[in-house]
Amino acid sequence: MLSSQETIDLFSKYVIPNYTRYPVALVRGEGSWVWDAEGKKYLDLFPGWGCNLLGHCPKPVVDAVIDQLKTFIHAPNSWYMENQGIWAKMLSERSFGGKAFFCNSGAEANEAAIKLVRLASVKPKYKIITFEGSFHGRTMGTLTATAQPKYQDGVQPLLPGFVYAPYGDLEAVRNLIDGETAAIMIEPVQGEGGVRVPPEGFLQGLRSLCDAHGLLLVFDEVQTGCGRLGTWFGYQHFGVRPDAMTLAKSISGGLAAGAMLTTAELAPALRPGMHASTFGGNPIAARAGIAAIEMIESQGLLKRAVEVGDRFRAALRTFQKECDIIREVRGIGTMVGVELDIDGTPIVQSCMENGLLINCTHGHILRLLPAMTMSDAEVDQGVEMLIAGIRRQMGK
């Protein structure tokens, strides 16, 4: 096996440097633990950037995928595939009873939703309202939906037809609606934007605006979906039903996959030939997706997601009382944000050096997306290591 440095050397020479990477090569994962090429073990509180909600290498998913690999790896969408059908049924039955389009990533799922909005809306309606601080992906369409100039600078012109509202400001949204507005698109809880939970009644208010003006409500559930908030989908936590929702990240237990679900009434707008994804809903992703749903149900993991997240937040709030650099501890289910008064980047670095993996977004918000499979002992260990990291930064 290559050392971390040998792998880094390969990247320096052969891989486009569009990511900022930690100087470590990870080689193995199990549950909430990962190992680097030198054999060092890390507790991973940000497994797979949210893709490994079931932990690394969850056995039911691994077993299903191995079996599928031996049977049929790929079939194009010009054929019917049993597993894709079963997967769509399982997602539909756990959400609003609609239909699914399958793809491979969050950006692709959101592109499908954007196209659905345009195809399902009566002209001249085409505009979509999104929110400051949102994150919807890096394709040109989803990048335009992502109302963050830092990701857009230099690649303009962007896709026409997106307008941005301040997050949580219902009045501003109302003022943006005009005769060309077709939809509102939002993450039920902003993830990359800093684990921002919507103000009370905000999502309900958006639903009412959509109903009053004949707009579609699209929820980007790439991060909040598939059990992360303790309900199958984030919209169920808030009791606000979207017209379409997008999923990816953990949908297939860590394998690359995505989906856009919409109501049976809207689904025909994506008529034959109007959208496609070669690998979308392939037999491997579908088997993994089915296994992920079955694992969550058979192991009672929706309930566990709430317990894990609440345990993190309770312990961190206790620490907050003696730590004046923590402004707020927030989140729902296994989305945990710790907003600091200081730069969080050195804390991430120091935690990593000491065997703990976390994330920091917007410079000062520590972000955890822990696996719903964590034991209480692992949560407690994670909290202890995180607090030690914060203390080191405070010089205490």
Binding site for ligand PLP (CB under 6 A): 105-107, 110, 135-137, 187, 191-192, 220, 222-223, 248
* Closest approach of ligand PLP to the CB of residue 372, in Å: 17
3-class DSSP state for residue 263? coil
- Nearer to ligand PLP (CB atom), residue 187 or residue 339: 187
Residue 65 contacts residue 255 (beta carbons within 8 Å): yes
- Nearer to ligand PLP (CB atom), residue 58 or residue 193: 193
CA distance 313 to 53: 18
* Closest approach of ligand PLP to the CB of residue 258, in Å: 6
Residue 338 contacts residue 366 (beta carbons within 8 Å): yes
Nearest-CB residue for ligand PLP: 106
220 is catalytic: yes
* Closest approach of ligand PLP to the CB of residue 39, in Å: 30
Which of the following is catalytic: 102, 131, 135, 162? 135
Phi (first) and psi of residue 131, to 5 degrees: -125, 145
- Nearer to ligand PLP (CB atom), residue 47 or residue 137: 137
Query: Who contacts 272 (Cβ-Cβ below 8 Å, separation ≥6)?
Result: none
238 is catalytic: no
- Number of Cβ within 10 Å of residue 343's Cβ equals 12
Which of the following is catalytic: 46, 162, 219, 220? 220
* Closest approach of ligand PLP to the CB of residue 136, in Å: 5
Query: What DSSP line would sit under 338-370, residue for residue?
Result: EEESS--HHHHHHHHHTTEE-EEETTTEEEE--
Residue 362 contacts residue 195 (beta carbons within 8 Å): no
Phi (first) and psi of residue 183, to 5 degrees: -160, 165
Pairing of strands 41-44, 356-357: parallel
* Closest approach of ligand PLP to the CB of residue 106, in Å: 2
* Closest approach of ligand PLP to the CB of residue 110, in Å: 6
CA distance 250 to 305: 13
396 is catalytic: no
Which pair of structure tokens corresponds to residue 263?
């109501």
Query: Who contacts 396 (Cβ-Cβ below 8 Å, separation ≥6)?
Result: none
Active site positions, annotated: 135, 220, 249
